[in-house]
Amino acid sequence: MPKFSLPNTFLTTNVLVLGIVSLLADLSTEMIQPILPLFLVSVLGTSYTIVGLVEGSSDATTSIVKVISGWYSDRFSRRKPFVVAGYLPTAVLKPLLYFVQTPLQVIAIRVPDRVGKGIRGAPRDALIAESVEKENLGKAFGFHRALDSLGAVLGSFLGFVLLMVIVGSSSDIYRIIFVISAVPAIVSVIIGQVFIKEVKPIVSIKSKKSHTSFLQGIRSFDSKLKFFLLVSSIFAFANFNISFFILKAKDTGLSDIDVVLLYMLYNIMYTAVSYPFGAIADKIGREKVIIMGMGVFIFATIGFAYVSPSLVNVVILFAILGVYIGIFDGSQKAYISEIANPSLKATALGTVATLTGVITLPSSLVAGILWDRFGSASTFEFGAIVALLALTSFAIFLLKFKRSR
């Protein structure tokens, strides 16, 4: 395949191919994301605390693997094998959800499925960063997130269509969708294997210091990156799993189809703002856009806690939630890629992802316990308060850092 790029832009071969692969993989994942919490509650009869355990454990597993995968990717100077291998479990394991009868069985399938996401995450992000010039990092990550979230839009739309056309009980419909979701994941693995390329020799930790260990690599992060790890961890404790927002919408009396349409709106907004805010981050500074994203998240959680649960309000809040993730996600990765040592880029990306994902497990458990004991408003109040703490800490640090230079 000839090397593809547009002059003086971010759109290189790898950025484009990785975007397409992520689109297909996310299409697969998001076909089942809005219906899985409904399946757990309405078919398997689980509590909100168990929903938090299922989704939180999946997120935590993804993130634990990310830092290990990122470090090995840096150490062996390879990205592609980790990326392609990471997409494989998504294709293989999703059909097994057809057979589950208990929440524990869901966990037993979801956790190894999410291991694959963890394997591919940091090496893929490092490969994106290494495929473009530094001044185009925000646009490259924004473009990738836009295609990724476009896959989520298409996946949730396809889930909506399947809910409409498949005949049977809710349980049967959910299970059939689980099986169908594997098809785009299989295609993503094939495309990744054929078209993803290593872009250049990567500076290897091993070539510089043969005795450098994983922990030594982590300890070598500079103070700015270490503080951002702390801020990201605090914010992650506020940012519990999307399932709780979905269940909040369901509690307003909406049908399963309406909930899937809301989730599709969330992904449409995510897609719409990812690239523009990536470009804005390149111009005005990624720190400012990260703070902006945190602020939008706080606004959304306050809305879910206190706004009357009408259809119009829920639609607006899901749109705002999509805007938040579109602003925040790509800008965070671009910022980490900017401040990390080049020889530890994937390790840094993986470390942030690991810390934030691991914290999602206790965060989602706390969210579920608060909901079961005190009602849904307490769950979203908790998210807003902790997110405000993260935003304030980051803003104060940036002010002090600029004054000290």
Would you place residue 310 in the very low, low, confident or very high pLDDT band (cuts 50, 70, 90)? confident
Q: Are the C-beta atoms of 336 and 225 separated by less than 8 Å?
A: yes
The answer to the question of residue 110 being in a domain is yes
Strand partners, 12: 5
The answer to the question of residue 201 being in a domain is no
Higher pLDDT, 241 or 185: 185
Q: What is the pLDDT of residue 141?
A: 85
Whether the pLDDT of residue 176 is over 60: the answer is yes
The answer to the question of residue 205 being in a domain is no
Q: What is the pLDDT of residue 1?
A: 44
Query: What would the pLDDT profile of 63-116 be if each residue is shown by its tens digit?
Result: 677 778 888 888 888 889 999 998 988 788 888 989 999 888 888 888 888 788
Whether the pLDDT of residue 2 is over 80: the answer is no
Range of the domain at 271: 13-196+219-404
Q: What is the pLDDT of residue 76?
A: 82
Q: What does each C-alpha distance from 229 to 180, 236, 333 come to in angstroms?
A: 38, 10, 12
Q: Show the DSSP H helices in 196-343 as ranges.
A: 205-208, 214-219, 223-238, 243-251, 256-284, 286-306, 311-339
**Torsion from C-alpha of 95, 99, 103, 107, nearest 10 degrees:** -40
Strand partners, 5: 12
Whether the pLDDT of residue 20 is over 60: the answer is yes
Q: What is the pLDDT of residue 92?
A: 86
What is the Cα–Cα distance from 163 to 123, expressed in whole angstroms?
Answer: 35
Q: Are the C-beta atoms of 145 and 272 separated by less than 8 Å?
A: no
Q: Total domain count for the chain?
A: 1
Higher pLDDT, 192 or 341: 192
Q: What is the pLDDT of residue 200?
A: 65
What is the phi/psi pair of residue 253, to 5°? 100, 10
Whether the pLDDT of residue 291 is over 80: the answer is yes
What is the Cα–Cα distance from 195 to 17, expressed in whole angstroms?
Answer: 7
The answer to the question of residue 204 being in a domain is no
User: Which pair of tokens denotes residue 166?
Assistant: 């498949």
User: Which pair of tokens denotes residue 322?
Assistant: 């999509």
Whether the pLDDT of residue 359 is over 50: the answer is yes
The answer to the question of residue 211 being in a domain is no
| Mean pLDDT, the chain, whole residue set | 84
Q: 244-278: buried (b, 16+ CB within 10 Å) or exposed (e) per residue?
A: bbbbbbbeeebebebbbbbbbbbbbbbbbbbbebb
Q: Are the C-beta atoms of 174 and 371 separated by less than 8 Å?
A: no
Q: Which residue type is seen at 379?
A: T
Would you place residue 186 in the very low, low, confident or very high pLDDT band (cuts 50, 70, 90)? very high
Is 341 exposed, middle or buried (CB count within 10 Å of its CB: 0-12, 13-18, 19+)? middle
What is the Cα–Cα distance from 228 to 230, expressed in whole angstroms?
Answer: 5
The answer to the question of residue 88 being in a domain is yes
Would you place residue 405 in the very low, low, confident or very high pLDDT band (cuts 50, 70, 90)? low
Q: What is the pLDDT of residue 66?
A: 76
Whether the pLDDT of residue 334 is over 50: the answer is yes
Would you place residue 130 in the very low, low, confident or very high pLDDT band (cuts 50, 70, 90)? confident
What is the Cα–Cα distance from 137 to 330, expressed in whole angstroms?
Answer: 9
The answer to the question of residue 141 being in a domain is yes
Q: What is the pLDDT of residue 210?
A: 43
Whether the pLDDT of residue 188 is over 80: the answer is yes
User: Any idea what the CATH number is for the domain that residue 387 is in?
Assistant: 1.20.1250.20
Q: What is the pLDDT of residue 373?
A: 92
Query: What would the pLDDT profile of 269-284 be if each residue is shown by its tens digit?
Result: 988 888 888 889 888 9
What is the Cα–Cα distance from 122 to 73, expressed in whole angstroms?
Answer: 8
Q: What is the DSSP string of 16-29?
A: HHHHHHHHHHHHHH
Q: What is the pLDDT of residue 8?
A: 52
The answer to the question of residue 207 being in a domain is no
Whether the pLDDT of residue 5 is over 70: the answer is no
What is the pLDDT averaged over residues 352-376? 86
Q: What is the pTM of this model?
A: 0.70
Q: What is the pLDDT of residue 315?
A: 92
Collapsed DSSP state (helix, strand, coil) of residue 222 = coil
Q: What is the pLDDT of residue 404?
A: 60
287: closest CA among 231, 335, 227, 339? 335
Q: Are the C-beta atoms of 378 and 370 separated by less than 8 Å?
A: yes
Q: Are the C-beta atoms of 94 and 28 separated by less than 8 Å?
A: yes
What is the pLDDT averaged over residues 228-250? 88
- Residues belonging to the chain: 405
Whether the pLDDT of residue 120 is over 50: the answer is yes
